[in-house]
Amino acid sequence: MSGLRERFETAFMPNYGVPPVALARGEGCRVWDADGREYLDLIAGIAVSSLGHGHRAIVAAVSSQVATLAHTSNLFVNEPEVLLAERLLGLLGGDGRVFLTNSGTEANECALKLAIKYGKANGRSYIVAAENGFHGRSMGALSLTGKAAIREPFGPFGVNVRFVPYGDADALKAAVDEHCAAVFMEPTLGEAGVVPPPDGYFAAVREVCDATGALFVADEIQSAIGRTGTWFAFQHENARPDVITLAKGLGGGLPIGVCIAFGPHGTLFAKGDHGSTFGGNPVSAAAALAVLTTIDQDGLLANAAAVGDTLAEGLRAIDHPLLGRERGRGLWRAAVLTGPHAPAVEAAARDAGFLINAVAPDALRIAPPLILTAEEARSFTAAFTAILDAAGTES
């Protein structure tokens, strides 16, 4: 494995550093590294591998589609992209229009262009987003991202974005008026450490946008497609946005992103306003359809909710000086530590055969495949005290 990591370091730009593990294969919720060591995967490719690894439904769908028609570009229609758009609209209420992309960042770029066009047509000059929010690293998406450390080195940006404290409904109300084009908001701050807002916050965002005419754009890149126990996280508060962006778990490991706008906002773009060579790729669309069908047929929404509760209960039962609390919903959780010990705990977990993610200095993200079993969840929480002990010795 060390040889592969050295080759990675030589061949790639240094923006990722050198990852600590070289993965070679996976099956279900388990992966093996290049040296043959087994791990329980509680990261799922950053909430992407919703059906785990090597799932027969995705293998069958992708194999069949790539042997039939692998690419068309946007110059032609293919059936899988149409079926996927129709399926998503059915889950969301039906009155929207879809744009398919390759990633979450590109889905947010599409939403940003929609917001800008809406703003220019209606005399609206700025956008509101959340402090510590994350919407991507391309220049448009980065302009919406409220994490100063990754945003400021690449400014200034051509978009007027005002940032408000996440979860503060009064601050949001004060920031949004009739000159605001859109509010971009995650239902939980994923990259900030799986930080949920107070109950009712998403409904409050909906109310503020209704009162002012600003577009409500929900970034559900990480939170949707069953991750929190419902198809979409906004459904927990019945606060449907004007625009929603999706990606990650929808493709089950294949690259895909989606921007969906509802009502009149779905026809804001005119011909030529936006495009993507690979958006709507039939192989990725086939994989996404297999993911949606499997989640539905196998009851994985209920599994995410139930096994997520098992994870939370196991973490709450641990009494350790390094562990503060847990937070999150469904199979999207964070173990919150009492200090900046997350890198050490991540390393100790890896040594013990568990892959988790130090998403913040004091928080570990746990976002496993939606097929995770209660037994697998308990195997992690049963080992976590020893993992914390080992991390405490090292840190």
How far is the C-alpha of 164 from the C-alpha of 357, rounded, in Å? 27
What pLDDT is recorded for position 131? 97
Catalytic center residues:
134, 219, 248
**Is 221 within any annotated ligand binding site?**
yes
- Cβ 216 vs Cβ 182: under 8 Å: yes
Which residues of the chain form beta strands (DSSP E)? 23-27, 30-33, 38-41, 96-101, 126-130, 161-164, 180-185, 215-219, 243-246, 257-262, 323-329, 332-337, 354-355, 357-360, 363-366
Which residues of 91-210 form beta strands (DSSP E)? 96-101, 126-130, 161-164, 180-185
Tokens for 70, please give them. Answer: 């692998």
User: What phi-psi label fits residue 313: left (phi over 0), alpha (psi between -120 and 50 degrees) or beta?
Assistant: alpha
**Is 104 within any annotated ligand binding site?**
yes
What pLDDT is recorded for position 275? 95
**Is 277 within any annotated ligand binding site?**
yes
Query: pLDDT digits over 97-114, tens only?
Result: 999 999 999 999 999 999
Q: Which helix (H) or strand (E) holds 178?
A: none
Omega into 165 within 30° of 0, i.e. cis?
Answer: no
What pLDDT is recorded for position 391? 95
257-262 β-sheet, strand order: 96-101, 257-262, 243-246, 215-219, 180-185, 126-130, 161-164
Name the stretches of the chain with pLDDT < 70. Answer: 1-2, 394-395
What pLDDT is recorded for position 198? 96
Query: pLDDT digits over 263-308, tens only?
Result: 999 999 999 999 999 999 999 999 999 999 999 999 999 999 999 9
Beta bridge partners of 215: 182
What one-character DSSP code corresponds to residue 265? G
How far is the C-alpha of 275 from the C-alpha of 73, rounded, in Å? 10
Q: What is the pTM of this model?
A: 0.95
What pLDDT is recorded for position 234? 97
**Is 338 within any annotated ligand binding site?**
no
